[in-house]
Amino acid sequence: MIRAAVLDLDGTIIGRDEKVSARVAAAVGRLRALIPVSIATGREANHAVDYAQQLGLTAPQICDGGAAILNPGTNPSNINPVWSAPLEPQLARKIIHSLHGNGTQFIATHPQGSIETIDGLSEINIIRVSALDMDEESADQVVVRFQTEPELHLVKVYLPYNDLWAVDFTKIGVDKAAGTRKLAQMIGVEVGDMVAAGDSYNDLPLLTACGLAIAMGDAPQELRAVADYVAPSAEEDGLAVAIEEFILPRLIAS
């Protein structure tokens, strides 16, 4: 039984143009009429709320790589998560100062928004840090630099809108699967009764946690290997195809 859906944003709901196509919007609309639908993105809260509102989603939404859950009905410019798992403050400062010192662009999110400089860092509660816009070799170097930190979860993420890479930092044990387990408690379903769709390495825990998994066609082999269904790419409206051919028939049959 499918009782809820969790969908990645970049490379799944949206493609390189960062727009929701008419076909994807229509398919998600049919799905949300039957079950709760949530976005699970590595992006910050205002992006998750914006796309959730575009799609008419009313269930809680997951942002910051699973480190925060929010109400999609709020004003995108004034969002307070309904749940979050912040980084340990000293560790967050260490990450940000290291990235700043190496000239690496970053964004750090906190309950009231985000920062992209080290100004005022000691006064805020960091939920997630992302090192941004690197070639893959540089992203691998960032991973190596921090992979021995015992209280840190980090994952390399492909950015389809600019063909570059990011590295996301969250509290140990916090990823899209952890966020989805918390979401499942909030909406009263079992994770095994959820379907997930994604395209990048940060979606692997999500796909393995949920009862049914959809990988986009251009996803890494690791994701396609655990998928119950491999959809076309986002550029080919693959999520709409997956909803139409894989999810809706199972919902109708049940």
What does the DSSP assignment read for 211-222? SEEEEETTS-HH
Domains of the chain: 4-82+175-253 (3.40.50.1000), 86-171 (3.30.1240.10)
Averaged confidence pLDDT in the chain:
94
State the maximum Cα–Cα separation within the chain, in Å, rounded to a whole number.
56
Strands 164-171, 194-198: pairing is unpaired
pLDDT digits (tens, 9 = 90+) for 152-194: 999 999 988 899 999 999 999 999 999 999 999 999 999 999 9
What is this structure's pTM?
0.93
pLDDT-derived band of residue 75, with 50, 70 and 90 as boundaries? confident
Which pLDDT score, from 0 to 100, does residue 123 have? Answer: 66
By percentage, how much of the chain surpasses pLDDT 90?
Answer: 87
What are the φ/ψ torsions at residue 163 (nearest 5 degrees)?
60, 25
Beta carbons of 85 and 171 less than 8 angstroms apart: yes
Give the count of beta carbons closer than 10 Å to the beta carbon of residue 88.
Answer: 14
Say whether 98 sits in a helix, a strand or coil: helix
Confidence of residue 245 (pLDDT cuts 50, 70, 90): very high
At residue 122, does pLDDT exceed 80? Answer: no
Please tell me the predicted confidence (pLDDT) of residue 79.
80
